[in-house]
Amino acid sequence: MLQLPATSAGSTIVGAEGSESFDPSDIPSWSGDASERNLASSDSRLIIDKDFIVAGESVQLRLQIPQFRFRRSEPVAAFLQISSASPDAIAAIQDVSLRLTTEQGNTLRDITPPWTHDTTRLHGMVSVLPDDSWPDRLQIVATVITGGQQALRQKADIELFSPAATITGTEPAYLKDDEWLIPVTLLVNQRGVVSLSSSLTEETGALITHLNSREHMAASGTMLIHVRSSLITPSHLKTNLVLRDLQVRLIPDRQSAPLGIGDSVQPYFVLAPFQP
């Protein structure tokens, strides 16, 4: 039987100097009920649920990653839970581990956290500081070993990136000719054409329009999002509209440079009321 250390935190942060316990509340809440994966957004969530049989009983594995794409400057976090209505199934589990590997399966680091457990469930959370030498594409691999059975594995693909351009805020929109112009401020880390796609919605989330803007930027500054004036009704002028579903790409000036991935300091921006 797997000897699991009881711990109130069930979490570990792993860095160059080893590991230490930390409070799970330090990680932003990213739990959810449905599986989500949006490869174009850095704030998307990945949840993998898998059923398997242990000791003749059904066991559920959940591997949860707060987002598919992580900045290289931030920890990579993961949560693993194994549960069953049968205590015998949990008791039959001999070992559970988490590893961070390359796409080819080569282990970069063992990131197995201390497990919190009871008769029908075990779970743990880990947060790992990326190493500069790690490739952009990685896998988090959960392995469950039970008596008399082949090891069960579940993988989750993730990516590391350094933002080529980051949305830092917005400024009040203004009307020019037959268009509303929404200034968006960006921190630009390399010269190139910034491509920004987004959705303009009402406060309720009702869609007004999808927006796409492109502008060459040699340094940090402001780019303008153009909105046809006919799309903004008098009722819209009385409320705060919202810019959401933000996706940023940068086409570098250097021919050999790869497409740059952008980011935003927050997933949406509530805009100041439009003033004619």
pLDDT digits (tens, 9 = 90+) for 121-156: 999 999 999 999 999 999 999 999 987 666 889 999
Residue 41: pLDDT band (50, 70, 90) is very low
pLDDT at 44: 65
Which top CATH class is 165-270?
mainly beta
pLDDT exceeds 90 at position 192: yes
Tell me if 101 sits within 8 A of 143, measured CB to CB: no
For 239-254, the pLDDT digits (tens) are 999 999 999 999 999 8
Least confident of 37-51, 88-102, 237-251: 37-51
Please provide the average confidence, as pLDDT, over all residues in the chain: 84
Residue 223 CA to residue 250 CA, distance in Å, equals 13
| CATH hierarchy code of domain 11-161 | 2.60.40.10
Bridge partners of residue 102, in order along the sequence: 138
Confirm whether 11-161 and 165-270 share one CATH topology.
yes
Q: Where are the domains of the chain?
A: 11-161, 165-270
pLDDT at 2: 46
User: What would the pLDDT profile of 199-235 be if each residue is shown by its tens digit?
Assistant: 999 999 999 999 999 999 999 999 999 999 999 999 9
